């Protein structure tokens, strides 16, 4: 017979201790009670707990002291703080100190059950591990020191319910990091709902996030769940959160603080149990200073900030990344995995990758298409002609001075001259293969044939 989970409850109010104890007992959880820090420390020395609940105000100290003590002495024990209603500053401080989550007084018993259930799951890693293996098709590749540190931080953040802001350049894999935090944590069995905040039309944002009731506006022919409700019990990932308009930021802040949403046209609030992860390639603090992003929302979502390194900061991982990505491409196309020459690999290591992992993947996919043998060569990479071999230079891009002189040509003649030059370059890079040249130009094969005939390039 398996042993029942054990919880430590710390509060100086007997009524609260009794209420929490009865609620947990009904969940099949045994409890030990403490009315102050001294009693709590004694219980911690003599018992193996699965979760701890502590009030903020105690006769001989406060809950933050207990959170810090547990972080130092019992780092595997999830501890949640009970705060006065609306005291978000203390709740945020607690999560920064290492608290698993927080509850506001008066304690909502449904929210308490959700919190305890998530905390107990932390002691059942096999469940989330299986879910991660099944759901995650991509992994963080690399063993440079900065990547080892990132992986350790992800595991630590997965054990918390604190909001995390993921910062990094475009193409570094911020959504992958968010997924790993979700699937390695106690919410792995619940939905992970990603949303690109910059892709939702402003007039539809409130309905998309919070849902709507039938008839609430023209076109609302039925009730619809919003993103918060779709992610209930799991994680909502707000990618490119900096793109949210100020009016929506206000409504988002309320939903996060109150842990409830009101659908458009609805008459009552609906409680939600969602962990918030967010990301942006922009500097949110600078946007706050420019009043383009609300300061209160910034501090609410940025309880913990996690930076994802750019590819140039982890160039030592490029050989492993290239090997992994080539294997993925081979699997996708049903072909044998190509090798890559040392000369081509050295070039990739020296290249700065303004587009990071996403750009590396695109370069290798193009090289796979252009490669005529079983090994990718330097010429197959087709890197920009202005790409640099050192970190002090910047990749050069075509500018007006690089274009042919217009002289007395008409606009159509001038554009035709530019088009001819670009098609010739693509054909040269593709070694005369029209299909590959069309892919390089981003046009269809049919359009390629038309242009070759029109420009007398056949």
- CATH dotted code for 6-123: 3.40.50.2300
- CA 176, CA 198: separation in Å to the nearest integer? 18
Q: What pLDDT does 456 receive?
A: 82
Q: What pLDDT does 340 receive?
A: 94
Neighbours of 56 (CB within 10 A): 21
pLDDT tens-digit profile, the chain (458 residues):
467 899 999 999 999 899 999 999 999 999 999 999 999 999 999 999 999 999 999 999 889 999 999 999 998 899 999 987 667 788 888 888 889 998 888 888 888 998 998 898 887 654 445 555 555 666 899 999 999 999 999 999 998 999 999 999 999 999 999 999 999 999 999 999 999 999 999 888 999 999 888 877 777 788 889 999 999 999 999 999 999 999 999 999 999 988 899 998 888 899 999 999 999 999 999 999 999 999 999 999 999 999 999 999 999 999 999 999 999 888 888 888 899 999 999 999 999 998 999 999 999 998 988 888 889 999 888 887 555 444 443 333 443 435 566 566 777 777 788 888 888 888 888 777 787 788 788 777 767 777 887 788 87
> Running DSSP on this structure, what letter comes out for residue 312?
G
Q: What pLDDT does 257 receive?
A: 87
80, 115 in Cβ contact below 8 A? yes
Q: Is the peptide bond before 12 cis (omega within 30 degrees of 0)?
A: no
Q: What tokens does 82 get?
A: 């009970």
- Domain 311-381 matching CATH 1.10.8.60: the answer reads yes
Q: What pLDDT does 391 receive?
A: 42
Q: What pLDDT does 394 receive?
A: 39
Q: Which residue's entry shows tokens 């202005």?
A: 386
Domain boundaries, the chain: 6-123, 127-307, 311-381, 400-454
- CA 200, CA 80: separation in Å to the nearest integer? 35
- CATH dotted code for 400-454: 1.10.10.60
Helix (H) or strand (E) holding 306: strand 304-307
* Per-position DSSP letters for 146-195, written without gaps between them: HHHHHHHHHHHHHT----EEEE--TTS-HHHHHHHHHHTSTTTTS-EEEE
Superfamily of domain 127-307: P-loop containing nucleotide triphosphate hydrolases (3.40.50.300)
Q: What pLDDT does 121 receive?
A: 85
Do the two domains 127-307 and 311-381 of this chain adopt the same fold?
Answer: no
């Amino acid at each position: 017979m398996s042993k029942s989970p054990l919880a430590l409850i710390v509060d100086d109010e007997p009524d609260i201790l009794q209420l929490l104890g009865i609620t947990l007992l009904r969940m099949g959880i045994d409890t030990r009670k403490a009315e102050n820090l001294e009693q709590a420390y004694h219980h911690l020395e003599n018992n193996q707990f699965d979760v701890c609940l502590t009030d903020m105000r105690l006769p001989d100290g406060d809950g933050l002291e207990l959170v810090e003590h547990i972080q130092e002495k019992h780092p595997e024990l999830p501890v949640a703080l009970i705060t006065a209603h609306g005291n978000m500053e203390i709740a945020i401080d607690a999560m920064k100190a290492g608290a698993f989550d927080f509850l506001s007084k008066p304690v909502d018993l449904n929210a308490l059950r959700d919190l305890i259930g998530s905390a107990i799951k932390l002691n059942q890693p096999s469940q989330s591990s299986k879910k991660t293996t099944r759901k995650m098709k991509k992994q963080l590749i690399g063993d440079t020191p900065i990547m080892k540190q990132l992986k350790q931080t992800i595991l630590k953040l997965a054990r918390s319910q604190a909001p995390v802001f993921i910062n990094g350049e475009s193409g570094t894999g911020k959504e992958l990091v968010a997924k790993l935090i979700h699937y390695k944590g106690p919410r792995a069995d619940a939905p992970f709902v990603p949303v690109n905040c910059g892709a939702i039309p402003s007039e539809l944002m409130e309905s998309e996030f919070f849902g709507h009731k039938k008839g609430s506006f023209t076109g609302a022919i039925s009730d619809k769940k919003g993103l918060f409700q779709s992610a209930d019990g799991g994680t909502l990932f707000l990618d490119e959160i900096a793109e949210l308009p100020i009016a929506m930021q206000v409504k988002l802040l309320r939903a996060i603080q109150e842990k409830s949403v009101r659908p458009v046209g609805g008459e009552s609030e609906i409680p939600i149990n969602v962990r918030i992860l967010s990301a942006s390639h922009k500097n949110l603090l600078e946007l706050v200073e420019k009043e383009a992003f609300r300061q209160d929302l910034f501090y609410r979502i940025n309880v913990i900030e996690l930076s994802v390194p750019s590819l140039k900061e982890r160039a030592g991982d490029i050989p492993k990344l290239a090997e992994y990505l080539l294997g993925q491409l081979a699997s996708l196309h049903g072909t044998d995995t190509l090798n890559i020459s040392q000369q081509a690999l050295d070039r990739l290591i020296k290249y700065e990758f303004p587009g990071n992992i996403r750009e590396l993947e695109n370069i290798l996919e193009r090289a796979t298409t252009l490669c005529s043998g079983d090994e990718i060569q330097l010429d197959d990479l087709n890197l920009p002609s202005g790409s640099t071999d050192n970190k002090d230079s910047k990749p050069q891009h075509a500018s007006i001075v690089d274009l042919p002189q217009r002289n007395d040509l008409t606009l159509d003649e001038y554009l035709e001259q530019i088009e001819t030059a670009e098609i010739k370059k693509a054909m040269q890079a593709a070694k005369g293969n029209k299909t590959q040249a069309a892919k390089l130009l981003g046009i269809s094969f049919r359009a390629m044939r038309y242009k070759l005939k029109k420009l007398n390039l056949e």
